[in-house]
């Protein structure tokens, strides 16, 4: 039976419209975002309740669909958050250390998408994707909700399996101790779709208790997100079928590069063009050919090709440039990987930015490098922006875009006024860095020495505004990079034997 259309309320109240499908709510493009109402079955009492949908955009975060159900017969209420936007190129993982007795930690906002899992290693506890739907909550709210759902069927369990019910009671004591702040624990939020979030109250400064990591999805994770994945891509490289029915792994191919590097240099010399000779020979040298090998798309997991070539950057080192594009979905990606052995020492690069020329310096920031700007008290830990090939000005722009995307809640209407003003002031400081109202300092600290800032002079020693400092890595840094467990003794024996 169709419900009668709801009347339009006054302008100060949300517009209510009855729809039969959530699709109509998602597809709404009206700037005056309406609130949609549908009649839904209550799973507790069996009568019909009301579900309200609101499609909204969290500033500098992404578009979400909020749904809230309420049953007037039994009082049942619940809510859910669904993401109406796209899946992110990479997955994300948040590690939050929650010390005992710190009540403020439990007020942190948490966005958990429907594809995210939550783990507490100290308890051996995991909330899988199917256990809790997408939600907008706090650390305390998620733990309390998990404890309540575990306790809901305890009376029935005690009748059927008393031992299991007793073990769950003991576990619930530990879980509620975490939820009330009486116990130290680690809160891990892992989302292959990259659509989850934990608030950093200290932003734009780093949070010493929060670690954010991005990672490439596995074929299994692609499949869990609904992408069509070739079974041969799971656990082993895909093989090309041949006419005789025997599959073979394709070999790496190569194609001529030709436009830069040694070949371009010889061509410029033969034609007598001195300007091109200088540009070709003294700019970054490139190889004679580009290697091509099979890969998978990072967005849709279909087969694609990745092109790679090795080049040498003066005053830096040999690097590997990798670029891939997908014909199926149009996704493109490029990476710069360091070549050669792991550096024995870390490197700290300091640039004094005083003029427009400094803003145009080439910058290679590896995924192990951190960025510090003392003048605005900005510090980004390693891995925050991933690997970048840009300029000094481009790096500042990337920092601003990343901070606004990750900490988008700070710009919303419901945020505390003082926090909102703080963010606005910091955004203005970032813009002032690019306008060069005052000189400022850029520090790139890379424990693996894989980052680079181009000098403004022909000789590195003549650049007084660029300082390179090498330092010994600490035991903690080596442990984080996995160097303490790296065993190369068998390779050393092989080299000595040759």
- The structure tokens 């576990």 sit at 171
User: CA-to-CA distance for 207 and 259, rounded, in angstroms?
Assistant: 46
Angle of CA points 489, 495, 498, to nearest 5° = 145
pLDDT, the chain, mean? 75
Q: 467-497 burial, b if ≥16 CB within 10 A, otherwise e?
A: eeeeeebeeebeeebeeeeeeeeeeeeeeee
Ranges of each domain in the chain: 16-83, 91-215, 251-338, 346-497
pLDDT at residue 119, rounded to an integer: 92
**Mean local confidence (pLDDT), 436-464:** 88
Q: Does residue 399 sit in helix, strand or coil? A: helix
Percent of the chain having pLDDT more than 90?
A: 12
Q: Tell me what pLDDT residue 260 has.
A: 42
Among 73, 65, 19, 67, which Cα is nearest to 43's?
Answer: 73
pLDDT-based confidence at residue 248 (cuts at 50, 70, 90):
very low
CA–CA gap between residue 254 and residue 260 (Å, rounded):
16
Encode pLDDT of 337-375 as tens digits.
777 777 888 999 999 999 989 999 989 888 888 899 999
Q: What is the edge-to-edge ordering of all strands in the sheet holding 16-18?
A: 16-18, 35-41, 48-57, 63-70, 77-83
Check residue 497 and give its pLDDT: 60
Question: Quick one: pLDDT at residue 29?
Answer: 42
Short-list 89, 259, 331, CA closest to 191 = 89
pLDDT band at 298 (very low <50, low <70, confident <90, very high): confident
> Averaging pLDDT over each range in 15-29, 132-146, 411-425, 482-496, which range is the top one?
132-146
Backbone angles phi and psi of 82, in degrees to 5: -125, 145
Q: Token pair of 265, please? A: 């240099």
**DSSP for 153-176?**
THHHHHHH-HHHHHHHHHHHHHHH
Q: Output the pLDDT for position 63.
A: 66
Whole-angstrom distance, CA of residue 338 vs CA of residue 310: 10
Which pLDDT band holds residue 305 (cuts at 50, 70, 90)? confident
Q: Which residues contact 125 (CB under 8 A, 6 or more apart)?
A: 119, 146, 171, 175
Q: Which residue has the higher pLDDT, 482 or 85?
A: 482
Indicate if the alpha-carbon torsion angle 143, 144, 145, 147 is positive or negative.
positive
What was the pLDDT predicted at 348? 93
Cβ within 8 Å of residue 393, ≥6 positions away: 359, 360, 434
> What pLDDT is stored for residue 257 in this prediction?
42
CATH 2.20.25.420 correct for 16-83: yes
> What's the CATH number of domain 251-338, 2.20.25.420, 3.40.1160.10, 3.30.300.30, 1.10.287.1080?
2.20.25.420
> Do 251-338 and 346-497 agree at the fold level?
no
Q: What is the DSSP letter of 103?
A: G
Over residues 415-432, mean pLDDT: 79
Residues in the chain: 498
User: Does the pLDDT at position 57 exceed 50?
Assistant: yes
Q: Name the one residue in this structure whose structure tokens are 């080049």.
A: 311
Residue 284 has pLDDT above 90, yes or no: no
- For 83-87, 109-113, 248-252, 435-439, which range has the lowest pLDDT when averaged over its residues? 248-252
Query: Among 2.60.320.10, 2.60.120.1040, 3.30.530.20, 2.30.130.10, what is the CATH number of 91-215?
Result: 2.60.120.1040
**Mean pLDDT in residue range 259-268:** 45
Q: Which CATH superfamily is domain 346-497 in?
A: ZPR1, A/B domain (2.60.120.1040)
User: Which comes out higher in pLDDT, residue 314 or 428?
Assistant: 428
Q: What is the pLDDT of residue 52?
A: 86
Closest residue by Cα to residue 449 from 340, 373, 308, 287: 340
pLDDT tens string 473-482? 888 878 777 7
CA distance 6 to 16: 6
**Does 316 have pLDDT greater than 50?**
yes
The answer, yes or no, to whether residue 253 has pLDDT greater than 70, is: no
pLDDT for 239 beyond 60: no
For residue 449, give both structure tokens.
Answer: 């020495």
Tens digits of residue pLDDT in 318-339: 778 888 888 888 888 777 777 7
Tokens (6 digits) for 124 = 């051996």
- Strand order from edge to edge, sheet including 185-191: 125-127, 117-120, 185-191, 91-98, 210-215
Q: List C-alpha distances in Å: 93 to 216, 239, 367, 473.
A: 11, 32, 15, 25
Measured from the Cβ of residue 75, the count of other Cβ atoms closer than 10 Å reads 11
- Stretch 219-225: mean pLDDT: 80
Pairing of strands 91-98, 77-83: unpaired
**320 beta partners:** 310, 337
Q: Name residue, tokens 């070739």.
A: 230
**pLDDT given for residue 83 in this prediction:** 62
The residue among 338 and 379 whose pLDDT is bigger is 379
Give pLDDT, residue 269. Answer: 46
Instruction: List for the chain the helix, strand, coil content (%; round to 5).
Output: 30, 30, 40
Q: How many helices (H) and strands (E) does the chain have?
A: 12, 28
Averaged pLDDT, 433-442: 91
Q: 413 or 106: which carries more pLDDT confidence?
A: 106
Averaged pLDDT for residues 102-122: 86
The predicted model gives 258-282 an average pLDDT of 46
Which of 71-85, 127-141, 230-244 is least confident? Answer: 230-244
In the predicted model, what is the mean pLDDT of residues 293-301?
Answer: 79
Q: How confident is the model at residue 230 (pLDDT cuts 50, 70, 90)?
A: low
Q: Report how far residue 459's alpha carbon sits from residue 463's, in angstroms, rounded to the nearest whole number.
A: 7
């Amino acid at each position: 039976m169709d419900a009668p259309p709801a009347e339009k309320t006054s302008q100060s109240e949300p517009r209510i419209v009855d729809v039969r499908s959530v699709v109509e709510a998602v597809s709404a493009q009206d700037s005056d975002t309406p609130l949609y109402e549908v009649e839904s079955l209550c799973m507790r009492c069996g009568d019909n309740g009301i579900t309200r949908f609101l499609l909204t955009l969290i500033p500098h975060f992404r578009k979400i669909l909020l749904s809230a159900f309420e049953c007037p017969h039994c009082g049942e209420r619940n809510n859910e958050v669904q993401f109406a936007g796209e899946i992110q190129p990479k997955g994300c993982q948040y590690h939050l250390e929650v010390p005992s007795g710190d009540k403020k930690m439990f007020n942190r906002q948490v966005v958990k998408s429907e594809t995210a899992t939550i783990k507490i290693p100290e308890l051996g506890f995991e909330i899988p994707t199917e256990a809790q739907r997408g939600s907008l909550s706090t650390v305390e709210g998620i733990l309390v909700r998990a404890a309540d759902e575990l306790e809901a069927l305890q009376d029935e369990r005690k009748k059927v399996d008393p031992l299991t019910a007793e073990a769950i009671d003991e576990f619930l004591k530990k879980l509620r101790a975490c939820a009330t702040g009486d116990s130290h624990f680690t809160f891990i939020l892992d989302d292959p779709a990259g659509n989850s979030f934990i608030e950093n109250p200290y932003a734009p400064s780093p949070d010493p208790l929060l670690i954010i990591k991005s990672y490439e999805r596995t074929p299994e994770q692609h499949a869990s997100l609904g992408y069509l994945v070739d079974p041969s891509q799971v656990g082993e490289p895909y093989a090309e079928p041949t006419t005789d029915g025997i599959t073979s792994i394709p070999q790496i191919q190569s194609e001529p590069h030709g436009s830069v590097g040694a070949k371009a240099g010889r061509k410029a010399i033969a034609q007598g063009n001195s300007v091109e000779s200088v540009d070709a020979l003294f700019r970054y040298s490139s190889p004679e050919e580009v290697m091509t090998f099979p890969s998978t798309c990072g967005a849709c997991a279909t087969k694609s090709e990745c092109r790679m070539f090795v080049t040498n950057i003066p005053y830096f080192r040999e690097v590997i440039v990798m670029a891939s594009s997908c014909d199926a979905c149009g996704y493109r990606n490029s990476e710069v990987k360091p070549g050669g052995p792991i550096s024995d020492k870390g490197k700290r690069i300091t640039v004094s930015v005083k003029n427009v020329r400094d803003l145009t310096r080439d910058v290679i920031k590896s995924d192990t490098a951190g960025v510090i700007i003392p003048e605005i008290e900005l510090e980004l830990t390693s891995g925050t922006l991933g690997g970048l090939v840009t300029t000094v000005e481009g790096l500042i722009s990337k920092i601003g875009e990343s901070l606004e995307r990750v900490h988008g809640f700070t710009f919303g209407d419901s945020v505390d006024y003082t926090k909102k003003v703080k963010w606005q002031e910091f955004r203005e400081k970032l813009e002032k860095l690019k306008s060069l109202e005052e000189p400022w300092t850029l520090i790139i600290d890379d424990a693996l020495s894989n980052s680079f800032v181009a000098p403004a002079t022909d000789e590195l020693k003549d650049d007084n505004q660029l300082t390179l400092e090498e330092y010994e890595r600490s035991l903690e840094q080596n442990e984080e990079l996995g160097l303490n467990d790296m065993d190369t003794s068998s390779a050393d024996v092989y080299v000595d034997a040759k």
